[in-house]
Structure 1
Amino acid sequence: MMNWNDCIERHNTHSVKWSFSDEEIIPMCIADMDFQVSEAITEAMKEKAKHGIYGYTTFSERYFRAIQMWWKRRHDLEVDREWISFSPGIIPGMNILLGILTEPGDAVIVQDPVYYPFYSTIENHGCTVLKNTLTYKNDHYQMDFADLERKAKDPNTKVLILCSPHNPVGRVWTSEELGRIAEICLKHDVWIISDEMHGDLVYEGNTHHPLFSVGEELKQRSILCAAPSKTFNIAGLQTSILLIPNQELREKYEHKLLSFGMSRPNAFGVEGTIAAYEQGEQWLDELLMYLEGNRQYAINYLQKNIPSVKPVAPEATHLIWLDCSELGMEHEELFEFFLVEAKIKFDEGYKFGPSGSKFVRMNIACPRERLTMALRRMDEAVLRKRVHDRSGLI
């Protein structure tokens, strides 16, 4: 069994998350985990390394079968072998898709606050970002379907990028919500690119519904994006998966992928993906239990000790969206407050859209000891601020 409480040293390992000159800072940002991967993945990497030849790599039938069986077991979704396309990452794949589905001047809908690379991906193609802002009430987010319909009916609107489960607010969309999205987009001839990167990281009591489960008709007007990277902590292996049932779109996508020289995978990525999907299920179940403990611990601590920071309880993902509006700060000031006063690096809420300006995003995929230390630092920093505010020093 994994020792989930092991605080593994990640400084000086070329980790983006841990590359800080100030080693006192606790990074609670960037959605990778501070846990070692499953032993099955490690052993697959060792076997590939021992082989000693890392030449041009392709995909085996075992690779495709591992993906198909995973989606069937975990999400009861039948995936045709022909649908499966490759990308080194979800965002590169989205860029190629938008290059096919849009022209400069077209509009693309996002549901903000949302994963911020969506914005630059849209703008890269000269397209307009249309914000179908999620409704936030009583620490809970919902979709604004009336606004979505208004934006979808605009003839310039060509695509909706759906984040499912949603990053950063942690919603797992219900089958009814997805059905309403499908109805609106089909009615107005809008394609859906569904980012389901966090679909395996769902907490008990919630069920992830793949977009394709909504109905057969939608499959011809949508693309499902996924990867083992968030699920199994192997983002550095750069093996993402695009499921594209529409044959014409899939052929155009794969032609573009080839023309950009991106059609061949990392030699280790193929082995890691197979090992993850074939043998990683027990590791994932243990991870979800540990994350559930971290989630509840963080929420309880904040509610008891730092009531001015309100967590939006996630239904999925290893991230918690923190409402800091009662601290009286926003934008860079809020981010800098935690970085300087608490020595914690969160993801800046304003990057996810204007509606996130008074929020930060916290990554809880770390040993409990590290999470506890970060929460205590937050507590102390907020307490000092409150004392200073009352004394008139700030």
Structure 2
Amino acid sequence: MADFNSIIPRRNTDSVKWDVKDNELPMWVADMDFKTAPEIIAAMQKKVAFGVFGYEEPHENLFNAVADWYQRQHHARPRTAWMLFCTGVVPAISSAVRRVSHVGDNVVVSAPVYNIFYNSIVNNGRHVLSSDLVYDADTHQYSVDWADLEAKLAEPLSTMMILCNPHNPVGKVWSRDDLIRISKLCIKHHVTLLSDEIHGDLVVGDPQYTPIFSLPEDLIQQTIVCVSPSKTFNVAALHAATVIVPNDNLRQIVNRGINTDELGEPNLLAIPGTIAAYTRGDRWLSELKAHISQNRATLTDFCKENLPQIHVVSSNATYLVWVG
């Protein structure tokens, strides 16, 4: 059994989360405080013990591990020919923004959403155009305002949409019907759809996570999907992500951006760490999700009993909690 109860002191360890002022609570960053799976640690230790640290590049064994993982965990197998390596999901998003849109274009998002999307858009001279999610105060859930989303996508300067699937931070798991509808709207209005699916493995119960690359192929020809083991296995410092692009021409455009931006070379531990996660991490993840589910229930019950003015948004994805 994995140990998710030991408290690991992380101050003075070069941690973005914990190397802060003494009384500061770093609740803003998606970084768990658990040790990663021992299989991942062992694979990285073996790599370091090898002692030769030359340049590396991803090969078919890495992409096969990604494909096998999605087949086992999510019953959807992306083709390895669709895959590109990148040194992180956020770098991939920023690079794609530069390659598939132009300075001054609109990039559509659905607020409240991961704040770094705004950086990737604004820092590259594009405009954020938000089709805000609608909050239901009775059910404490969010949904799409479909009329508003289509209006925003139809704007002449809207050339790209960044979707979060599942949605960070509200924990919304988009249904297959939702994803089909979004994809069709993007196709209709000639908008490239980029889906950040970094939290896809962290879903407990229904509705289940649907990888957008599992939709019919005619609906994903202008779609870019970004996945990574970083949130799932608490290995953000691996700087490893896979970008899945079904369309050949679009994939070449994205690949050119990744290489121009020098984002295609893995560090020493990225390949062995990712392969170990995706080939030997199933049991650890199952135990982690049970622990997260219990933590969420504990927090929800505490708020109901002690902080009735705070409502925990109903969700079954991510290890984050959104309150209103």
Which TM bucket (shorter chain)? over 0.9
Q: 1:183 to 1:255 in 2, by over 3 A?
A: closer
Question: Which residue does 1:239 correspond to in 2?
Answer: 240
1:51 aligns with 2:12: no
> Identity, % of aligned pairs?
39
Question: Which residue does 1:157 correspond to in 2?
Answer: 158
CA distance in 2, matches of 1:18, 1:125: 30
User: Are the aligned partners of 2:109 and 2:161 in contact in 1 as well (CA < 8 Å)?
Assistant: yes
CA distance in 1, matches of 2:322, 2:68: 32
Aligned-residue Cα RMSD (Å) equals 1.2
Q: TM-score, normalised by structure 2?
A: 0.96
3-state SS, counterpart of residue 85 of structure 1: strand
Question: Which residue does 2:84 correspond to in 1?
Answer: 85
After TM superposition, give the deviation of residue 314 of structure 1 in Å: 2.1
User: Cα deviations across residues 263-296 of structure 1 (Å, max 9, x unaligned)?
Assistant: 2101111110000000000000000000000000
User: Are the aligned partners of 2:95 and 2:261 in contact in 1 as well (CA < 8 Å)?
Assistant: no
CA distance in 2, matches of 1:149, 1:19: 43
After TM superposition, give the deviation of residue 313 of structure 1 in Å: 2.4
Q: 1:53 to 1:281 in 2, by over 3 A?
A: same
After TM superposition, give the deviation of residue 187 of structure 1 in Å: 1.2
Structure-to-structure mapping, 1:272-283, within 5 angstroms: 272-283=273-284
User: Are the aligned partners of 2:230 and 2:236 in contact in 1 as well (CA < 8 Å)?
Assistant: yes
Q: TM-score, normalised by structure 1?
A: 0.80
Which structure has more helix as a fraction of its residues?
Answer: 1
AA of the residue aligned to 2:278: Y
Question: Which residue does 2:15 correspond to in 1?
Answer: 15
CA distance in 2, matches of 1:257, 1:108: 19
After TM superposition, give the deviation of residue 206 of structure 1 in Å: 2.5
User: Are the aligned partners of 1:198 and 1:231 in contact in 2 as well (CA < 8 Å)?
Assistant: yes
CA distance in 2, matches of 1:102, 1:108: 8
AA of the residue aligned to 1:130: L
Structure-to-structure mapping, 1:334-373, within 5 angstroms: none
Question: Which residue does 1:317 correspond to in 2?
Answer: 318
User: Are the aligned partners of 2:165 and 2:174 in contact in 1 as well (CA < 8 Å)?
Assistant: yes
After TM superposition, give the deviation of residue 315 of structure 1 in Å: 1.6
3-state SS, counterpart of residue 210 of structure 2: coil
User: Cα deviations across residues 178-201 of structure 1 (Å, max 9, x unaligned)?
Assistant: 121112111111110000010000
After TM superposition, give the deviation of residue 121 of structure 1 in Å: 1.0
User: Are the aligned partners of 2:96 and 2:257 in contact in 1 as well (CA < 8 Å)?
Assistant: no
User: Cα deviations across residues 293-346 of structure 1 (Å, max 9, x unaligned)?
Assistant: 0000000000111111211122200000111xxxxxxxxxxxxxxxxxxxxxxx
Question: Which residue does 1:271 correspond to in 2?
Answer: 272
1:304 aligns with 2:305: yes
3-state SS, counterpart of residue 108 of structure 1: strand
CA distance in 2, matches of 1:39, 1:171: 30
3-state SS, counterpart of residue 290 of structure 1: helix
AA of the residue aligned to 2:31: D
CA distance in 2, matches of 1:276, 1:318: 18
Question: Which residue does 1:345 correspond to in 2?
Answer: none
Q: Note the residue ranges of structure 2 that are not aligned, 5 or more in a row.
A: none
Q: Note the residue ranges of structure 1 that are not aligned, 5 or more in a row.
A: 324-394
User: Are the aligned partners of 2:171 and 2:318 in contact in 1 as well (CA < 8 Å)?
Assistant: yes
Question: Which residue does 1:252 correspond to in 2?
Answer: 253
CA distance in 1, matches of 2:101, 2:249: 15
User: Are the aligned partners of 2:222 and 2:250 in contact in 1 as well (CA < 8 Å)?
Assistant: no
Question: Which residue does 2:190 correspond to in 1?
Answer: 189
CA distance in 2, matches of 1:52, 1:151: 53
User: Cα deviations across residues 246-271 of structure 1 (Å, max 9, x unaligned)?
Assistant: 11122222223222322210111111
AA of the residue aligned to 1:167: N
Question: Which residue does 1:42 correspond to in 2?
Answer: 41
User: Are the aligned partners of 1:194 and 1:224 in contact in 2 as well (CA < 8 Å)?
Assistant: yes
Question: Which residue does 2:112 correspond to in 1?
Answer: 113
AA of the residue aligned to 1:4: F
Question: Which residue does 1:331 correspond to in 2?
Answer: none
3-state SS, counterpart of residue 32 of structure 1: coil
Q: 1:203 to 1:10 in 2, by over 3 A?
A: same
3-state SS, counterpart of residue 236 of structure 1: helix
CA distance in 1, matches of 2:59, 2:46: 17
CA distance in 1, matches of 2:57, 2:189: 39
After TM superposition, give the deviation of residue 214 of structure 1 in Å: 2.6
3-state SS, counterpart of residue 312 of structure 2: strand
User: Are the aligned partners of 2:78 and 2:214 in contact in 1 as well (CA < 8 Å)?
Assistant: no
3-state SS, counterpart of residue 241 of structure 1: strand
Question: Which residue does 2:135 correspond to in 1?
Answer: 136
User: Are the aligned partners of 2:245 and 2:251 in contact in 1 as well (CA < 8 Å)?
Assistant: yes
CA distance in 2, matches of 1:110, 1:191: 12
Q: 1:146 to 1:89 in 2, by over 3 A?
A: same
3-state SS, counterpart of residue 28 of structure 1: coil
> Which structure has the greater CA radius of gyration?
1
